[in-house]
């Protein structure tokens, strides 16, 4: 067994009602003694109020440039179990569905080849196994691959795509988030495993505007389910809701476009003014359903603050007919994505997210570069400054 460390500060975090990560680390240490040293080092961080991991560090498997995050202890002699303490990302399943059989096999792999510790899941979506050495990497990778779990992304590549629970267990889903996430992940295996971009690129799939995987905030390319025709109303169920709560106050008055009203006892929706925000459907799921012409909106450019400030995804394609395109193996969508990546490759600079590139060169230049026309849905409002760059041919030659 590895040397036991005194952990009085971490021990405080075994108290309280919420399940304790310290308890989990101790359980892992029973199976994998290197995690004893992880507890020791984290305790030292709690004492010193500072991280004790060395900067960066390379680690990986042959043939891939991504999938592992290298990490080395500042105190390898004191904590030899975490001298090397890398994490490896395994591509999760669509919708995070598993069975007990495969989870137990993954648990065995984590005990045998790493620190017996997981993150279920990393923020991007991957299963992370913590605490392996470079020497473990090949075995861990191949054993996981035999179970059908390849590595996920890291570095300047396509990161692991992720999706909401979608049609597997949600009546709001407007398209098959699990299938397109699975299909595109397979289609772009090379871009995911072998970094060739200026910087990272993320894709996330949400089945409706509730955006349960936070696509519009956490992915460069966000796919948000929507519909083009009318919300389907079950007037009988509306009446049941009216008996239960104040539908006027909590549904109709909260509609952002005020496009709903009662005519007698019947609910009426002016669908031409509906922005598909989901509020009324969320509040009365038995009475209201999205329309039949389902598809998705594509938003682009979301990112965290570094370097030029945080960005949300902005509307790029108001309606993409994913059902039609999936019949052709997503030919149109793959063409669009490949145009974006080419433009980004040509005009982006190192460590520039695609949202920053669009902000730098201007949306119209970007649209021309990838072969799309500007549409009014892309803007909140038209420009209010007059600094317009008219093109020569429109102004007429002198």
Residues 114-133 interacting with another protein (rule: CB under 8 A): 116-121, 123, 130
- Is there binding between residue 229 and another protein (CB under 8 A)? no
Least gap, CB of 122 to another protein (angstroms): 9
- What whole-number distance in Å separates Cα of residue 113 and Cα of residue 174? 41
Cβ atoms of residues 105 and 200 within 8 Å: no
- What whole-number distance in Å separates Cα of residue 279 and Cα of residue 285? 10
Least gap, CB of 374 to another protein (angstroms): 20
Q: Among residues 158, 216, 316, 340, which is the contact residue for another protein, using CB under 8 A?
A: 216
Least gap, CB of 80 to another protein (angstroms): 17
**Interacting positions 65-104 with another protein (CB under 8 A):** 69, 71, 85, 87, 91-104
Q: Which stretch binds another protein (CB under 8 A): 143-151, 322-330, 363-371, 388-396?
A: 143-151
Residue that the structure tokens 């030659």 belong to: 397
Q: Which stretch binds another protein (CB under 8 A): 216-224, 325-333, 340-348, 386-394?
A: 216-224
- What whole-number distance in Å separates Cα of residue 286 and Cα of residue 241? 9
- Is there binding between residue 371 and another protein (CB under 8 A)? no
- Is there binding between residue 211 and another protein (CB under 8 A)? yes
Residue that the structure tokens 């002016």 belong to: 270
Q: Among residues 305, 382, 386, 396, which is the contact residue for another protein, using CB under 8 A?
A: 305
What is the per-residue burial (b if ≥16 Cβ within 10 Å, else e) of 120-158? Answer: ebbebbbbbbbbbbeebbeebbebbeeeebbbbbbbbbb
**Interacting positions 324-363 with another protein (CB under 8 A):** 349-351
Give the count of alpha carbons within 13 A of 160, CB side only.
28
- Would you state the structure tokens that stand for residue 392, as one six-digit string? 């020569």
- Is there binding between residue 379 and another protein (CB under 8 A)? no
- Is there binding between residue 258 and another protein (CB under 8 A)? no
Cβ atoms of residues 47 and 39 within 8 Å: no
**Interacting positions 175-204 with another protein (CB under 8 A):** 176, 178, 182, 185-186, 189-190, 193
Least gap, CB of 391 to another protein (angstroms): 27
- CA dihedral 194→216→205→224, nearest 10 degrees, is -140
Paired sense of beta strands 203-206 and 162-163, if any: parallel
Q: Which stretch binds another protein (CB under 8 A): 299-307, 318-326, 368-376, 383-391?
A: 299-307
Least gap, CB of 118 to another protein (angstroms): 5
């Amino acid at each position: 067994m590895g040397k036991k460390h005194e952990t009085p500060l971490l021990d405080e975090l075994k108290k309280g009602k919420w399940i304790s990560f310290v308890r989990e680390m101790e359980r892992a240490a029973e199976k994998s003694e290197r995690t004893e040293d992880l507890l020791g080092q984290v305790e030292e961080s709690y004492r010193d109020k500072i991280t004790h991991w060395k900067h960066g560090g390379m680690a990986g498997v042959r043939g891939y440039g991504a999938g592992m995050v290298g990490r080395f202890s500042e105190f390898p002699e004191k904590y030899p179990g975490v001298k090397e303490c890398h994490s490896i990302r395994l591509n999760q399943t669509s919708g995070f569905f598993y069975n007990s059989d495969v989870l137990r096999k993954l648990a065995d792999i984590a005990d045998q080849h790493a620190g017996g510790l997981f993150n279920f899941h990393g923020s991007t979506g991957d299963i992370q196994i913590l605490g392996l050495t470079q020497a473990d990497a090949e075995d861990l990778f191949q054993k996981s691959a035999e179970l059908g779990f390849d590595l996920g992304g890291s570095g300047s590549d396509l990161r692991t795509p992720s999706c909401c629970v979608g049609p597997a267990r949600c009546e709001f889903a407007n398209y098959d988030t699990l299938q397109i996430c699975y299909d595109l992940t397979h289609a772009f295996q090379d871009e995911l495993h072998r970094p060739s971009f200026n910087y990272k690129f993320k894709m996330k799939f949400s089945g409706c505007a509730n955006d349960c995987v936070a696509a519009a905030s956490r992915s460069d390319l966000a796919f948000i389910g929507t519909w083009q025709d009318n919300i389907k109303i079950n007037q009988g169920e509306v009446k049941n809701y009216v008996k239960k709560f104040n539908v006027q106050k909590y549904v109709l008055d909260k509609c952002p476009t005020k496009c709903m009203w009662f005519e007698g006892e019947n609910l009426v929706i002016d669908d031409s003014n509906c922005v598909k925000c989901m509020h009324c459907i969320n509040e009365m799921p038995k009475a209201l359903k999205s329309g039949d012409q389902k598809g998705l909106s594509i938003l682009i450019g979301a990112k965290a603050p570094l370097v030029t400030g945080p960005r949300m995804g902005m509307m790029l394609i108001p309606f993409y007919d994913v059902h039609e395109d999936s019949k052709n193996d997503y030919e149109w969508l793959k063409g669009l994505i490949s145009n974006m990546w080419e433009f980004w490759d040509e005009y982006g600079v190192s460590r520039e997210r695609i949202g920053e590139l669009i902000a730098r060169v201007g949306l119209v230049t970007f649209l021309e570069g990838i072969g799309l026309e500007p549409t009014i849905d892309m803007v909140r409002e038209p420009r209010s400054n007059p600094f317009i760059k008219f093109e020569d041919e429109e102004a007429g030659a002198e």
